[in-house]
Amino acid sequence: MNGDFTIIVEESDAGRRLDTVVAARLSDCSRSLAATLVANQNILVDQQPKKPGYRIKSGDRIEGHIPAAELVDYGPEPIPLHILYQDSHIIVLNKQPGIVVHPAPGHSSGTLVNALLFHCPDLGAIGGQIRPGIVHRLDKDTTGTMVVAKNADAQEELSRQFKAREVQKKYLALVYGDMPSETGEINLPIGRHPVDRKRMSTTTRKGRTAETAWKVRERWDGFSLVELNLKTGRTHQIRVHCAAIGHPVVGDPVYRTRKLFAGLKYKLSNHPAPIMAALKSAGRQQLHAWQLGLTHPNSEKYMTFEAPLPVDMDGLIDQLRGNG
C-alpha cells in the first residue's frame, strides 16, 4: 500500500481522531501506521500538520502520501527459538538470556528479530517498521514470555492492549535481603538517571508514573524469591524499583550498587561455598518474565502463557532451598 490520497471529512466523521479516520478510510492501513504517518507529517489537514489525536471537523481536507514499505536492512538468521505457542496471528516465545530483542548500534545481528525473520519471513512486511511484529520487549539478560504479532492487525491490537495496560505481566525475581512484608507495592516515578543516561532512576525531575506490586514466594537467609506484577511498563522498572527499596535483583550489574551490597555481606557470608560460588558466577540479573496474559487479537479469547525458569536461575534457587 503506497501512493497519494485525499479525504474530505463528512459530517458523520466530525469529532473523530485523525488517525482513526485515516485507518478506516484506507485499506490495509492500521491505526498505528496512520498515527506514525501523521506524526511524521506524511499526512496533513488543510495543508497543516496535526497530531494523531486531532479531532477532525466536517469539511476538513486530509491529504497524504503513503510511502512504500521500508525494507529492513538486516536479515534472517537461523537462531533457535523456544516457542510456547503460535498461530497465524501471534507467536509467543520463551526468550533466552543474552539475546537482544531488536537490532541497535552494537547489535546489528544475532537479535530476536533476526531469529523471527528466519522463522516467520512475512514479519518483515508489517508496516515497513524496523521492529517487525515487536509490541513489547525484555532486557537482553531478562528471560521469559514475549508475544510477537504476525500481521498488521494483530500488531495494532496488541499495541493497544499494552498501551491501555490490559496485558497482565507477572515476573519472578531473586532479590537480595528479606522483604519487609509478605506483599506490597512500589509507587515511585521512573526517568533517566540525572548523571548516567544509560541508567534509569527514581530520583529524577521528569519521572513517569510507575507501579509494581509484589509478593514473597519463598524466603532464605539474605534472599527472597518475589513474584512481581507490573501495572506499568517503564524501562528497567523491576530492577530500578527493587534497588530503590534496598533489595536489588541478584546478579544485576547495573543497579546493585556497592553501597546496597555492602549492607548484605554479613548475611551472605553465612551461606555455604557452593551458593557463594553460584552467586559470584551469576552473570546476569535473576529476573524472569514468568507469565503473560492477553486477549487474542483475532479470537478475542483471553489467554495466559507461562515460561519455565531458565536453568541458571532454577539451579540457584534449588541450592538456596537445599541450604536455606
The catalytic site residues sit at 139
Q: Helix H segments across 180-305? A: 237-244, 258-262, 265-268, 273-281
Residue 223 to residues 55, 78, 147, 164, 254, Cα–Cα distance (Å) = 53, 38, 30, 34, 19
Residue 42 to residues 6, 15, 22, 302, Cα–Cα distance (Å) = 12, 21, 12, 36
Q: With contact defined as beta carbons under 8 Å apart, do 212 and 229 qualify?
A: yes
CA-CA distance, 5 to 26, in Å (whole number)?
9
AA identity, residue 299: S
Give the three cell numbers for residue 189.
516515578
Please give the angle made by the CA atoms of 18, 19 and 25, to the nearest 5 degrees.
90
Q: With contact defined as beta carbons under 8 Å apart, do 241 and 210 qualify?
A: yes
